[in-house]
Amino acid sequence: MPILGVIPARYASTRFPGKPLAPIAGRPMIQHVYDRAAGCRRLDRVLVATDDSRIADCVRAFGGEVMLTSPEHPSGTDRLGEVARQLADYDYYVNLQGDEPLLEAQAIDALLDQTLAAGAPMSTLVRELDALTERHVLDDPHVVKAARAGDGRAVYFSRTVVPYARRPEHARYYKHIGIYAYQREILLALCRLPPAPLELAEGLEQLRALENGVYILAVITNYDPIGVDVPEDLAQVEFRLNLE
């Protein structure tokens, strides 16, 4: 069952223009992500999908594969959909975050192992949170939380705390790790649908899938990425790299 890993990358970031090209330990950030993705045993192929020739030139320079895509895509999922339309020979397409240079191949492989075993049409990663020691994470609207059923199905995603703990002994909290795997037909169908009300309210595109009845498998992981949102985040990434 062939699987394609796709790293959407755009140059025009509001808070950090040119972010994929930012140097980290002597290499551009996009190369760190690409090299780690290439180490996933479950991915048959990895490519960068971008709308910018500077990023494309960078990827080619370090020997990576790149596809130039439309600059009109509103989200990484839509960019992934263009790749799926052009490269139709894959059963699953994995959306990898281009601003997570400490990507762990084992987490991606575990996601895909469980996705394939379940035959899930769509899947993503979540990390369980400790309500006592990680309350600051739960209360941060920039951190997306997930509600997960006992069978692994994602019930909801939100920027607020879910669930409300009227009986705390039954509450389980999860941080959403924004890596997705899609069956091709599900990905293309989602890209054809208009934004849904919950998606617009929360600013979370995965809610489009839930609002349209798509089963999302939420796979538990210990992987806790450091995303690069602003230039100041680069120092933390370099520090972690030095510990590896």
How does pLDDT run across 186-220, given as a tens digit for each residue?
A: 999 999 999 999 999 999 999 999 999 999 999 99
Helix axes 184-192, 76-86, angle to 10 degrees: 120
Q: What is the mean pLDDT of the chain?
A: 94
pTM higher than 0.85: yes
pLDDT bracket for residue 44 (50, 70, 90): very high
- Whether residue 243 is predicted with pLDDT greater than 70 in this model: the reply is no
Averaged pLDDT, 162-179: 94
Residue 239 has a pLDDT of 85
Distance in angstroms (rounded) separating the CA atoms of residues 38 and 97: 14
Neighbours of 18 (CB within 10 A): 15
Higher confidence at residue 237 or residue 85? 85
C-beta of residue 216 within 8 angstroms of C-beta of residue 148:
no
C-beta of residue 142 within 8 angstroms of C-beta of residue 178:
no
Higher confidence at residue 1 or residue 199? 199
* Burial (0-12, 13-18, 19+ Cβ within 10 Å), 213: exposed
pLDDT bracket for residue 232 (50, 70, 90): confident
For residue 108, give both structure tokens. Answer: 């991606």
Q: Which backbone phi and psi does 179 adopt, to 5 degrees?
A: -120, 130
For the domain made up of 1-103, the CATH class stated in words is alpha beta
Chain centroid to CA 176: how far? 9
For residue 186, give both structure tokens. Answer: 């599900």
- The widest CA-to-CA distance across the chain, in whole angstroms, is 55
Give per-residue burial for 160-181: e unless 16+ CB within 10 Å, then b.
ebbbeeeeeeeeebbbbbbbbb
C-beta of residue 137 within 8 angstroms of C-beta of residue 143:
yes
| pLDDT-above-70 percentage for the chain | 100
Q: Which long-range contacts (CB under 8 A, 24 or more apart) does 105-108 make?
A: 105/36, 105/37, 105/39, 105/40, 105/41, 106/223, 107/177, 107/179, 107/221, 107/222, 107/223, 108/5, 108/37, 108/40, 108/42, 108/43, 108/179
Chain centroid to CA 126: how far? 11
- Whether residue 242 is predicted with pLDDT greater than 80 in this model: the reply is no
- Whether residue 146 is predicted with pLDDT greater than 90 in this model: the reply is yes
pLDDT bracket for residue 145 (50, 70, 90): very high
- Residue 201 identity: A
Could you tell me the residue ranges of all domains in the chain? 1-103, 106-224
Same topology for domains 1-103 and 106-224, yes or no? yes
Q: Which residue has the tokens 């479950």?
A: 42
For residue 61, give both structure tokens. Answer: 């320079």
Taking domain 106-224, whether its CATH number is 3.20.20.140 is answered by no
